Structure 1
Amino acid sequence: MQDLIGKHPGEPNVMDPELLADPFGGYGRLRERGPVLRARFMDDTPIWLVTRFEEVRAVLRDPRFVNNPYSIPGHTGPDPRARLMEVLGIPEEYSGYILESILTSDPPHHARLRRLVSHAFTARRVTELRPRVEEITDNLLDELTGHADDNGVVDLIEHFAYPLPITVICELVGVPEADRSRWRAFGSDLASLEPERIGASFPDVVDRIHELIAARRAAPRDDLISALIHAQDSDGGRLSDTEMVTLVMALVLAGHETTAHLIGNGTTALLTHPDQLRLLKENWGLLPHAVHELMRRCGSVQMTQLRYAAEDMELAGTRIRQGEAVQPVLVSANHDPRHYNDPERLDLTRQSAGRGEDHVGFGHGMHYCLGASLARQEGEVAIGRLLRRYPNLSLAVAPNQLKTQVRRRQPGAWRLLHLPLNLDRHASH
């Protein structure tokens, strides 16, 4: 993909090394150039970057910006996303599992799919899950010292931040324990952006989900896959097996990747801001505020899905024509000084400017993250219990090494490959 960089002077590409290495600074500078800027996507197609808080929220709640180009009135031409499927190495016969998922759907199709799985993420259901989340967390913390090397250093990403959310979401959905390492590898392959890896692992995961659906159809259990099969039977077969596969794939991937890196990025932020860490330890009641502030300041998802203009319109004084692609940039919106006072400062006591959530870390509008409440709960439980169990926890490498050596350079994401930490050997429960 690097041969696409620099082909269009003046138009940043989301694969630009500067943006990959420092999305906070890079997209922040673009934000100060303007709220809507011409740019290029991974496959070199032209897009509009939307960089500021108010404009990003406006796009995400405006039904005139659609996720599927075939929702554009009169669109009958080729799919503009097909080139990206080629670049990513997705075999053509499997591309529908990405292009026709809940993440890329629009009303009324989107509402139907979301309704089928939303019951698993109600406030009551998430509250009922908390004891199990706490149990899984405590078990992982019990095992953490066993993973430490001779110097007491442990990789938090490998042995805590990933295992917790993938166990929770797989139990909820119905993915067997034996398959979870496959999902971990699949997420890593997707994040690599290497076509050979993606092309090999994507069909394998899709085929395995089909096998799971067949197994649950023969012997239902108390899990989401069985519930989807029941919904399919009750709904006259309107929910296809392909749709079921895309739902399972979206839920498992989104349900563990983003939460794992909320835990990793959030722990790093607290360990590098001792004043805020001390504040949290003095008042554990700040944990819900802390998770929101960590999502705002160092959330792992830094862009949304592309949106397409369903009609000609104007956004912040820029003319956007029907069919053109728009890329809302969450990282620059969440650091917009027009909306936040001193946005670069980590402040666990930061108050919302109004009612509800005052950041776009979980998105906004109809595609707001379905599992946001579960992710927040897991973040609260994981970070709170980790810091209580190991009160003298510290980074085992210099903070600048995390930026230069163990960050995954991936467009739209801010993720650690590893997080080496020193454990407190003398801590107790």
Structure 2
Amino acid sequence: MSASPTNPLAVHVGKHPGETNVMDPALVIDPFKGYGELREQGPVVRGRFLDDSPVWFITRFDDVREVLRDQRFVNNRSSALGGVDDNPLTRLMETMGLPEELHPYLLETILNADAPDHTRLRRLVSRAFTARKINDLRPRVAQIADELLAQLPGHAENGVVDLIEHFAYPLPISVICELVGIPEADRPQWRQWGADLVSLSPERLRAAVPPMIDHIHELIRERRGTLTDDLLSELIRTHDDDGSRLSDVEMATLVLTLVFAGHETTAHLIGNGTAALLTHPDQLRLLTSDPDLLPRAVHELMRWCGPVHVAQLRYASEDIDFAGTTIRKGEAVQLVLVSANFDPRHYDDPDRLDITRHPAGHAENHVGFGHGMHYCLGASLARQEGEVALGKLFARYPDASLAVEPDRLERPELPGGWRLVSLPLRL
């Protein structure tokens, strides 16, 4: 990929010699190698964000975890600067040409909020993600997986089926939409909106975001007349009982964030994990011979080929001396999860895929789901879906194989993530 004036995300690449931009081809095309080299330059390295603003890269395991739990680093730059709005993400929205009135739906989310707003919003939705709730969902997740797997041969063309299109995406979007309360008829449209959002294409974003927001508000209006036991109904009850606890925009933004975050990353955990196991037959044989290894295998796959490579930008709320570098108040920090998860200071032989690496029953030994107060709300659901999906896929189709050479698997050149365009399999 080259820095071309036609690509608003790449135009700044190379402007500052010696300062890596997050759109640098070395990071986008091979983030494992690119961020690994950055990690070995030092614990804190100066670079540039998408809008060309300065950013500090933090890439080592212990350092990433330390910043993630350090509440002096906040998610909202305006709060770090005492109310001054100078947010790189706002400039990114402007670059994309999104109307200003829609910015809050993408920027003022639970992912970007700090306490006390983050605490308030997380409390409103956390009841849907308790261990008991997730455990109770498992039979339904298994049922959906069985139905999708039974249909796979019918989707094959010339003996090849795309697992991303017909299994990895439909499973998590069905589960999260049922949990939130999105009607089945609307789910294909949500799938398309999710693809438009992650494309980072200005044209696709401008076309997708307005109807998506209108749709959410219309869904809320319709559900008010027929409240049920889904999460959307709970949010409506909270809003109508006490509007000061949840505004209209916050309610719509929560729906958007939960549905989008609840299926996009899980879909690519399933896709990446399947590809990893098929290209490591020793690990696949180990897993299929002992299905009890599934929870440990999913942890290792989140470490080794997780779909999210960087965390949300953090901002120093005061001058902070960190690992020999002074990070000034308001300066941005980019925490790199992928390099932390391959840090040889923390892992023995980190490049090796080893589904027995994580001891059973122990705390997470990776940062694929983040850490600290912003730890992924849906991590337990994502892990469960990964376990069910991979277990059932290889139990039903033990002879599944890649239909193309591994180096021909196509991945979009997008910063900060790791996903497959398709995963062609022979069953």
TM value normalised by structure 2: 0.96
Assess, with a 3 A threshold, how the Cα gap between structure 1 residues 385 and 2 changes in structure 2: closer, same or farther: same
Q: Which residue of 2 aligns with 1:240?
A: 247
How much does 1:318 deviate?
0.9
Say if 2:417 is the partner of 1:416: no
Corresponding position of 2:128:
120
Q: What is the one-letter code of the residue matched to 1:417?
A: V
**What is the deviation of 1:67?**
0.5
Q: C-alpha distance in 1, partners of 2:255/2:85?
A: 29
Shift of 1:354: 10
Tell me by how many angstroms 1:80 deviates. 3.9
2:383 alignment counterpart: 376
The C-alpha deviation readout for 1:338-396, integer Å capped at 9, x for no partner, is: 00000000001103599411100000000100000000000000000000000011000
Structure 1 residue 238, shift from structure 2 partner: 2.4
Q: Comparing 19-28 with 233-242, which one deviates more in the overlay?
A: 233-242
2:84 is equivalent to residue 84 of structure 1 = no
Question: Which position in structure 1 is the counterpart of 2:338?
Answer: 331
Q: CA deviation at 1:182?
A: 1.4
Count of aligned pairs between the two proteins: 419
Specify the alignment match of 2:3 in structure 1.
none
CA distance in 2, matches of 1:208, 1:389: 38
Task: Indicate the residue corresponding to 1:322 in structure 2.
Answer: 329
Residue 216 of structure 1 deviates from its aligned partner by 1.1
Which amino acid is the alignment partner of residue 414 of structure 1? W
Structure 2 counterpart of 1:351: 358
- What letter is aligned with 1:306? L
Give CA-to-partner distance per residue, 1:131-177, whole Å, 9 cap, x none. Answer: 10000000000100000112x11000000000000000001101111
Partner of 1:426: none
Q: Secondary structure at the match of 2:245?
A: coil
Cα distance in structure 2, aligned partners of 1:215 and 1:390: 42
Q: Cα offset for 1:187? A: 1.4
**Partner Cα separation in structure 1 for residue 254 and residue 64 of structure 2:** 26
Structure 1 Cα separation of the partners of residues 349 and 60 of structure 2: 15
Greater shift in the superposed pair: 347-356 or 315-324: 347-356
Q: Is the Cα–Cα contact under 8 Å of residues 77 and 85 in structure 2 kept in the other structure? A: no
Residues 129-148 of structure 1 mapped to structure 2, 5 A cutoff: 129-148=137-156
TM-score, length of structure 1 as denominator length: 0.96
| Equivalent in the alignment of 2:193 | 186
How far, CA to CA, are the matches of 1:389 and 1:355 in structure 2?
Answer: 30
Q: Deviation at 1:79?
A: 3.7
Aligned to 1:268: 275
Asked if the contact 2:313–2:332 (Cα under 8 Å) also holds between the matched residues in 1, the reply is yes
Gaps of 5+ in 2: 1-8
- What residue is the counterpart of 1:427 in the other structure? none
| Corresponding residue for residue 203 of structure 2 | 196
Q: Match of 2:236, SS?
A: helix
2:348 equivalent to 1:341:
yes
Is 1:14 equivalent to 2:18 in the alignment? no
Say whether 1:102 aligns with 2:102.
no
Post-superposition CA distance 1:242-288 (Å, at most 9, x none): 00011111100110000000000000000000110111111110000
Q: C-alpha distance in 2, partners of 1:306/1:2?
A: 19
Change (3 A) 1:355 1:284: closer
Distance 1:77 1:170 in 2: 34
* DSSP-derived class of the 1:408 partner: coil
Percent identical residues: 66
The one of 281, 287, 290 aligned to 2:288: 281
Matched residues in 2 for 1:62 and 1:26: separation? 26
Is the contact between residue 77 and residue 86 of structure 2 (CA under 8 Å) also seen in structure 1?
no
Q: Distance in 2 between matches of 1:204 and 1:330?
A: 33
Q: Secondary structure at the match of 1:369?
A: coil
Question: CA 1:121/1:88 → structure 2, altered by over 3 Å: closer, same or farther?
Answer: same
Return the letter of the residue paired with 2:304.
R
Structure 1 stretches lacking a partner, 5+ long: 424-429
Alpha-carbon distance in 1 for matches of 2:134, 2:209: 30
Q: Which residue, out of 405, 411, 423, partners 1:407?
A: 411
Distance of 1:148 and 1:210 partners within structure 2: 38
CA distance in 2, matches of 1:10, 1:122: 46
SS in 1 for 2:20: coil
- Following superposition, the deviation at residue 77 of structure 1 comes to 4.6
Answering whether residue 399 of structure 2 is matched by residue 392 of structure 1, we say yes
2 CA distance for matches of 1:14 and 1:80? 13
CA distance in 2, matches of 1:79, 1:264: 33
